[in-house]
Chain A
Amino acid sequence: MIAKTLTTAQLEETYDRIAEAIDTAGEGREALFLAKLSLALAAMLGDPVKIREAIDAALRDLG
C-alpha cells in the first residue's frame, strides 16, 4: 500500500498541477514529460525499495 503522506488538499493541488503540465508538454511529448517527472521524484525520494513499490503499484490495472 502506498502511504498517504499528502493531505487531500495537497493531493488535489498536485493533481491539477500535473494535469496542467501534461497539457503544457503537449501531445506526443507527454510520455517523455511523465518519465522525466518519475525520475525526478524518484531521485528526491531516495529510497530504492519505495521506488520499486511505486512502479509495481502503477503497473497494476492498466488495461
Chain B
Amino acid sequence: MHTPDAKPRASVFYDYAIHPYRRPPEMDGEAARHPVVIVGAGPIGMVTALDLARFGVPSVILEQELQVSHGSRAIVLTRRSMEILQQVGVAGPFLEKGLQWSRGRSFYRGREVYQMVMPHDADDRFLPGLNIQQQYIEEYLVDAVERSGLIDLRWGSKVLAVRQDDESVTLRVDTPEGEYDLTAGWAVAADGGRSAVRRLMELRMEGRSYPGNFVIADIQAKLDLPTERLCFFDPNWNPGNNVLVHRQPDDLWRIDFRLPDGETAEQALEPDLLARRIELVLGMIGKRVPWRLDWATVYSANTLTLPDYVHGRVLFTGDAAHLLPIFGVRGANTGFQDCNDLAWKLAFVVQGKAPRGLLETYSSERVQAAREICEEGGKSTRFMTPPTRGFRLMRDAVLSFTLSEEFCKDLLHWRTSRPHTYAHSPLNSFADEDRAFAGGPACGEPLRNVRLGDGDYLFDHFGTGFHLLVFAGTEGVSDGQRALLRQAGELGVQLGVPMVRVILAASPTPEMAALAEAALADPGGRAAAKYAAGPGTAYLARPDTHVCARWRSATAGDVAHAVRVAMGTVPGETK
C-alpha cells in the first residue's frame, strides 16, 4: 500500500497545498483504455499533458506525491522555455511572478574578472532568463491542468510495474487504497532523474559522472541585490571551489557551492556547518543580514543520456531520459524542449494521422540534442568542477591570468541552454531551397519572434498546428499566394491537422484576414528582414515552431509535400 506524506512540506515562504488522492474508475471495475498515461506531475509531465491537450488528446498523469516538489530546484527558465509555456497557454503567471534577467558576473580574489550579458534582441518578448521557484512552476501548471478538462491528474499514485505488448502498455499502480492496472496506448515517462519507469525497465544511460559534490541552499533574506548570476571562484573561505548566487522571488536566494573533496553530503548538510558556510557567503557578498534556511540538498554533475527515448510504447522525456549538468540551466529547459518535440508527434500518432515511425524522429532529434548538450555542458562542468588534477591546474591557470590578461576570459563563459537546431532531421525537406536563403531561420531552427508593436509580437498570433508564414509584397497577395493559402487550409482539413496560416504584409487587407488565421502588419519590413524574405517567401514550421521547409516561392503542392514529410507519411528527399 502506497502511503504518500499527507503533511504539507515545511517552507519559510511557500504554503504547500495537499491534493487529495481520488479513487480511480479502474478500481470500480471500469476497464478504460487511455490514449496516453504520463508518469510524473513535474514540470515536464504536466507540459507534455497540456501540449497533448492542445491537440485534443486526453491523458492521465500519475503522481506519487500529494503535493508539488520540495525546494526551488529548477529555478532558471530560459527564453525558449518561456516561448514553449506561451505555446501551451500558461506564460502569464510565470511573467507575473518570475524575475527576468540577462547579466552574469564572475569574481576571483575579490575582483570582478568577467561579465557576460546574454544576447537579447529587441524582437524577443522574453529576457534570456527568468528565475522562479519550482513550487510556483508546478503550481501554475497544476492550475492549467485542472482547467484543461482533458487531463486526469491522479495524486498519490505510484508505478510498481510496466508491461507492454504490440497493442498497449499496462502500468501496475499502487495507491493509498491498494493496487490497480492502468492500460494506455502510450506511456510517457516524465518521472525525473530517479525515474521509476527507467529502473523498472532496466534501461541504462550512457555518458559520464563527474566527481565533486555541490550544496544548493535556499535562504530567505533581504539582500537588496539585482537579479543576475553571481559566480565567485576560489573564495577565501572555500579555497579552490566556487560559489553561485541567484535571486528568486519572495526574497529567496539560491546559494550553490562546491564542497571540499572528500566531504560527504551528510557532513555538508549538518545544520551548524551549513549555517556557518551561509554566513561566510553572506560576508563575502558584503550582506551580513538575518536569514532563514528554506531548503538544502546536495548534487553532483552528470552528462548521461539514454541512447534511445522510444522503447516500444514507452517514451522517455526530461530527466527520466537524461541527466545533464546544472551549469547552463539544462535540466528543465532541456525537458521542455523534449516534450515540445514529443507532444505533437504523439498526438498525431494517437489520432491515427501519422505513422508510428514519426515517434522515432522524437528520439533521434532529442537524443542528438542531449549528446550535444553533454558535450557542451561537459566543458562548463570541467571548468566548474575539474575532474582531475590536470583540469584543476588549467582552471587555476586561467583564473590567475584573468587578473591581468584578457585573452582567456571567454573560458569563463557559462554556455546557457539554447534551443536545439534539428538541421539533419528527416522531417525537413526542400534542402536546396533552404540553402538559397541569405539569412533567416534555416530548416531545423525555431521560428524567430518579431516585435510588431507595443506589447505585440509575432508569436502572440500563433496557434496549435503547423504554421505557414507567407510574406506578401507591396502589391498585396498574388494569385499564386491566394491559391497557396486556400489549398493549405484545405490540406489541413484533409489531413486532419490544424494549419495556422499567417500573412505578413506592409498593410494587411480584409481579403488577407479572410485568407489566413492571422494577417499581420509589417510596415517597416522588419519581419521580412528577419526572415530574409521577399514577396512570395513562405516558411513552413512544425507545431513546435521548428522550420521544416522554406521557399522563395512556393506552390500548394510544395507545401503539401513538406507537410507530409514532416508528418512522416512520405520519406524526405535524399538530395
Contacts and interface: CB of A to CB of B under 8 A. Distances in A.
Task: Please say whether chains A and B are actual partners in one complex.
Answer: yes
Interface in B379-432: 379, 382, 386, 388-391, 393-394, 398, 400-401, 403-408, 410-411, 413
Contacts, number: 62
A19 B410 CA distance: 17
A57 B405 contact: yes
A47 interface: no
Given A15-B394, A22-B390, A61 B410 contact: no
B376 to A, nearest CB: 10
Given A22-B394, A61-B400, A3 B389 contact: no
A22 B41 CA distance: 46
Contacts of A15: 394, 398, 411
A8 B410 contact: yes
B175 to A, nearest CB: 50
B411 A12 contact: yes
B391 A19 contact: yes
The size bracket of the interface on B is 20 to 34
Given A8-B413, A61-B400, A3 B390 contact: no
Nearest to A23: B390
B394 A18 contact: yes
Nearest to B391: A19
A3 B394 contact: no
Interface string A1-31: 1111000100110011011111110010010
Contacts of A11: 407-408, 410-411
Interface string B102-133: 00000001000000000000000000000000
Contacts of A60: 400, 403-404
Nearest to B390: A22
A61 B109 CA distance: 10
A3 B407 CA distance: 6
A46 B393 CA distance: 26
B119 to A, nearest CB: 15
Nearest to B399: A61
A4 B407 contact: yes
B406 A4 contact: yes
A1 B408 CA distance: 11
Nearest to A34: B393
A62 interface: yes
A20 B393 CA distance: 11
Contact of B390 (A1, A8, A18): A18
Nearest to B378: A16
B390 A19 contact: yes
9 contacts: A8-B411, A12-B411, A19-B382, A19-B393, A20-B390, A23-B390, A27-B389, A61-B403, A61-B404
Interface of B: 109, 379, 382, 386, 388-391, 393-394, 398, 400-401, 403-408, 410-411, 413
Given A61-B109, A61-B404, A62-B400, 8 more contacts: A1-B406, A11-B410, A11-B411, A18-B394, A19-B388, A22-B394, A23-B389, A60-B400
